[in-house]
């Protein structure tokens, strides 16, 4: 290969000046040690594994290598391996991470302890039962409009929707949320993920649904959030969950419920005002789809 030619053109990148092939990529004599939680709903313990180090490897590579070579039954979820699908969420040294996006070398000189996300029941090893989230999602009124696509919508109308729509449903925001993780308010609190979803629905220029009742009186429970911003910090796609989703929703709820004029209107006309789809506030959006994960 003509490296010099590439360099002359300014094309050789800084990170890989030398020539590598697949085989050369193992870092000679170097190994990594990982402590991985092995167990199930009944309990378990950390088991230490040692693997040969490969250049640039992410924690998921390490876990899959252990699975293929040393522990075939090691349970872990993954799909795209490109941080697009949000399957491989777990906790590394107590912090939620996408395993596919976290390089092992970030932990140089530290222990690497990999555990399942803890806000939900553990099934086995690194896999937790996140099916609760799908049940919550099914209770949110979906996109509702009386208009017929194609819609005329301009960039400036929809720009703020791109951010919440980036969500990959890794549920790491749910994992760190104190209301769920510490206070176990699962029955009355939807969690940051579903405030993100509610936000884009509420702000979509063509949507005629109303989710404020769900958020305030239903199982949304947005008032339980005390804006500690933990969710925003862990979002792997950079959604400003607290600032751009939760606070605007809290404001809308406050507007709707604590504005005395609106409060009076609601008493007189039923739970909602300004309803354009005739459903008023009585429309329930119960979970209809059955979701099963369990045995």
Partner 1 sequence: MDANGHANGSSPHEVREHDVLIIGAGGAGLRAAVAATERGLSVGVVTKSLLGKAHTVMAEGGIAASLGNVDPADGWQTHFKDTLKSGKFINNWRMAELFSKEAPDRVYELEQWGALFNRTAEGKISQRPFGAHTYRRLCHVGDRTGLELIRTMQEKVLATDTQVYMETAVTKLFKNSEGRVVGALAYTRETGKFIHFKTKAVVLATGGWGRIYKVTSNSWEGTGDGAVLAYDAGAELVDMEMVQFHPTGMVWPPGVRGLLVTEGVRGEGGLLRNSKGERYMERYDKERMELSSRDVVARANYTEVQEGRGSPHGGVFLDITHLGYRGIMKKLPTMHEQFLKLADIDISKEPMEVFPTIHYTMGGVKVDPETCATNVPGLFAAGEVAGGLHGANRLGGNSLSDLLVFGRRAGMGAAEYVKSNGYSTEIREEELNAEKKRVMAPLEKREGENPYKIQQELQETMMEHANLMRNEDSLKEGLGKVLALKDRLPNIGVGGSTLFNPGWHTAQDVRHLIQISEIIIRCALERTERRGAQWRLDYDGPDEELGRVNLISKKDQQGEVGIEKREIPPMPEHLAKLFEEGE
Please give the residues from 163 up to 182 whose contact with partner 1 meets the rule CB under 8 A.
165-169
Alpha carbon distances (Å) from 233 to 31, 78, 87, 223, 230: 31, 22, 19, 20, 5
CA atoms of 293 and 123, how far apart (whole Å) = 11
Q: Is the backbone of residue 191 left (phi > 0), alpha (psi -120 to 50) or beta?
A: left
Residues numbered 246 to 265 that lie near partner 1 (CB under 8 A) are none
Q: Which residue has the tokens 């099914």?
A: 138
Contact call for residue 94 and partner 1 (CB under 8 A): no
Least distance in angstroms from the C-beta of 230 to partner 1: 21
Least distance in angstroms from the C-beta of 59 to partner 1: 10
20 burial level (CB within 10 Å; 0-12, 13-18, 19+): exposed
Least distance in angstroms from the C-beta of 182 to partner 1: 25
Near partner 1 by CB under 8 A, which window of 11-19, 177-185, 263-271, 275-283?
11-19
Peptide bond into 245 cis (omega under 30): no
Choice from 30, 31, 50, 55 touching partner 1 (CB under 8 A):
55
Contact status, residue 63 vs residue 74, Cβ threshold 8 Å: yes
Contact call for residue 47 and partner 1 (CB under 8 A): no
Extract the tokens encoding 43.
């309990």
Least distance in angstroms from the C-beta of 132 to partner 1: 12
Contact call for residue 241 and partner 1 (CB under 8 A): no
Nearer to partner 1 (CB atom), residue 61 or residue 91:
61
Least distance in angstroms from the C-beta of 251 to partner 1: 23
Residues numbered 112 to 171 that lie near partner 1 (CB under 8 A) are 123-125, 127, 129-131, 134, 137-138, 142-143, 145, 148-155, 157-158, 161-162, 165-169
Contact call for residue 29 and partner 1 (CB under 8 A): no
Least distance in angstroms from the C-beta of 191 to partner 1: 16
CA atoms of 40 and 34, how far apart (whole Å) = 19
Extract the tokens encoding 57.
């490897």
């Amino acid at each position: 290969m003509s490296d010099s030619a590439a360099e002359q053109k300014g094309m050789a990148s800084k990170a890989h000046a030398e020539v590598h092939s697949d085989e050369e990529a193992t870092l000679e004599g170097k190994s990594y040690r990982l402590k991985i939680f092995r167990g199930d709903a009944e309990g378990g313990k950390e088991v230490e594994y040692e693997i040969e180090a490969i250049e640039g490897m992410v924690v998921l590579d390490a876990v899959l290598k252990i699975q293929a070579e040393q522990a075939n039954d090691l349970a872990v979820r993954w799909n795209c391996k490109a941080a697009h699908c949000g399957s491989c969420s777990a906790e590394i040294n107590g912090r939620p991470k996408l395993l596919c996006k976290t390089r092992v070398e970030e932990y140089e000189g530290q222990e690497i302890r990999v555990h399942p996300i803890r806000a939900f029941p553990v099934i086995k090893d690194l896999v937790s039962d996140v099916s609760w989230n799908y049940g919550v999602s099914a209770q949110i009124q979906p996109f509702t409009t009386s208009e017929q696509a194609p819609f005329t919508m301009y960039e400036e109308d929809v720009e703020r929707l791109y951010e919440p729509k980036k969500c990959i449903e890794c549920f790491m925001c749910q994992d760190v949320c104190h209301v769920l993780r510490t206070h176990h308010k699962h029955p009355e609190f939807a969690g940051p993920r579903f405030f993100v979803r509610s936000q884009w629905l509420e702000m979509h220029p063509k949507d005629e649904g109303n989710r404020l009742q769900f958020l305030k009186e239903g199982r949304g429970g947005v008032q339980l959030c005390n804006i500690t911003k933990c969710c925003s910090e862990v979002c792997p796609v950079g959604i400003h969950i607290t600032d751009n989703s939760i606070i605007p929703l809290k404001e809308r709820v406050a507007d709707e419920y604590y504005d005395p004029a609106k409060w009076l209107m609601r008493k007189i006309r039923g739970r909602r005002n300004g309803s354009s789809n005739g459903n008023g506030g009585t429309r329930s959006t119960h979970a209809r789809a059955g979701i099963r994960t369990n045995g």
